[in-house]
Each structure stands twice: as C-alpha cells, then as structure tokens.
Amino acid sequence: MEDQNNYRIQPSDIGILLEAAPFFAGLPSESLELLLGHAVIRSHPANRIILLENDWGGSVYFILEGWVKIRTHNVDGKEVTLNIVGKGEVIGEMAALEEVPRSTDAITLTPTMVSSIPSQDFVSLLHSDPIAGVRLAQLMAKRLRQLNRRLRLREADSLSRVADTLLFLAEGQGKHTEKGIEIPNLPHRELSSISGLARETVTRSLTKLEKKGLIKREDDILCISSLDGLEQIIS
C-alpha cells in the first residue's frame, strides 16, 4: 500500500468501516452519515509516521488494517514504546479532546490502512451521541487496565514480562485460528521497547517459551498455542 492511495469514504465503504472499527457499530445512521461525511481513507507503508509528537491534532484516526506503534522518548532521548495497536483501535483522540498538541508519535509497523476524521466532527459526535461516549470510555478503561498490569509486572522476572507482552498483544489484536492465536512476529527491538527489557533478553525468553511449546514463530507470524500457559507464567 502506498500513501497516494487516499480517497473519501463512499456509501459502499460504510460496511467495511463497521466491520473494521467496532466504535461505529450501533451508531444511528444520521450520526454515521454526519461523521463520515468528511472522513478519508489512507493507506501507508510500514515505517511511516502518522502522528508526530507536539503537532496539533486536526484529525482522529481509526485503524482499519495493520499495526501501529505509539511511542515517545525519555529524558535521555531513548525511544519508549507505550503501546502497539491494530485493527479497530482509535488514535489521536486525546489531542482532539483536550485541544492540545499530540503527546506521542504514531508509526506504522506494517502496511496500514486508516480512516481519518476531523477532530471537531469527532468531538461533536461525543457531545451528541451517548453510545459514542460510552465506546470511548470503554476504550480508555481497557488501555488503563493494560497499563496497570504492565506496571505491576515491571519488577517481575524477564520471562514473565515477555509472556505478559505477548498476552497484551494477543488481547488487543490476536487472530484466533485452529493452531492458536496469531499475532505479528514483531522485531525483537519492538518487544524490547514495550517490555522494558534488553533485546537479547527478549530473544532468550522467546526461545524458552517456544521450547515449552507455548508459542511458535513462523516468518511474519507468532502463534500462541496456549494463553493459559502464558498466564500461568506470570501468575
């Protein structure tokens, strides 16, 4: 997918949006029509910046396909991955709500398709439709719960922290198959950044989990064969 593949949403696209972004499901048709009247679908290749920290937020983005890394930098300039989000997630909503510059970068990890909506349209929807407000509150509660869990495990052993990172990714964007739950086989540097561990430690931990039969790595896919097994490691 390339960046020039940008177009305004047509009526025929609404079904695709409802399937890819649960946030829209159940909204009244008049709310959808108003909201999507100015929406644009954009396709981006991997390693493309969608949002820049400190930029003013003119749009809110819904991920229709692909994976996006949310990052910032610490006081030493080192990159810190705060989240990895995928299909169905919303990004850029905080700057829209608070009317302040963006607090993080958002960078595609894989070829990604997003739908962008002007911030003022998004905020107007929240004011006018209680379903949309509840959906956003549920999304924020989920992210807070995930963050609390990661902070609680910050002092745990490395194997537990890597297992928790995989569970975190599976919960957000895992694809259920006959073999188990599939997530992208992300570069170890990304897992290192989100878990707070050295890349070499992540590599060793993944090898241990694979030997235990809890995961299997195949090219671009990492398959989790036992969620319960990973949960037992961190319990």
pLDDT of 216: 93
- Helix (H), strand (E) at residue 193: helix 188-195
156-234, what's its fold?
A: Arc Repressor Mutant, subunit A (1.10.10)
Average pLDDT over residues 83-91: 87
Q: pLDDT tens-digit profile of 6-44? A: 766 665 666 667 667 778 878 887 887 777 778 888 899
Q: What are the start and end residues of each CATH 1.10.10.10 domain in the chain?
A: 156-234
Mean pLDDT, the chain, whole residue set: 85
In whole angstroms, give the CA distance from residue 157 to residue 208.
13
Average pLDDT over residues 212-218: 92
- Cα angle value 110/111/116 (rounded, 5°): 110
pLDDT of 2: 43
Asked if 28 and 35 touch (Cβ cutoff 8 Å), the reply is no
In whole angstroms, give the CA distance from residue 199 to residue 202.
5
pLDDT band at 91 (very low <50, low <70, confident <90, very high): very high
- Confidence (pTM): 0.81
Average pLDDT over residues 180-200: 88
Q: How many helices (H) and strands (E) does the chain have?
A: 9, 13
pLDDT of 1: 41
Query: What's the order of all strands across the beta sheet hosting 40-44?
Result: 6-8, 40-44, 112-118, 59-65, 90-91
Most confident of 1-15, 70-84, 186-200, 206-220: 206-220
Q: What are the start and end residues of each CATH 2.60.120.10 domain in the chain?
A: 6-151
pLDDT of 45: 93
Q: pLDDT tens-digit profile of 122-153? A: 999 898 888 888 989 988 898 888 788 777 77
Written as six digits, the tokens of 148 are 């609390």
6-151, what's its fold?
A: Jelly Rolls (2.60.120)
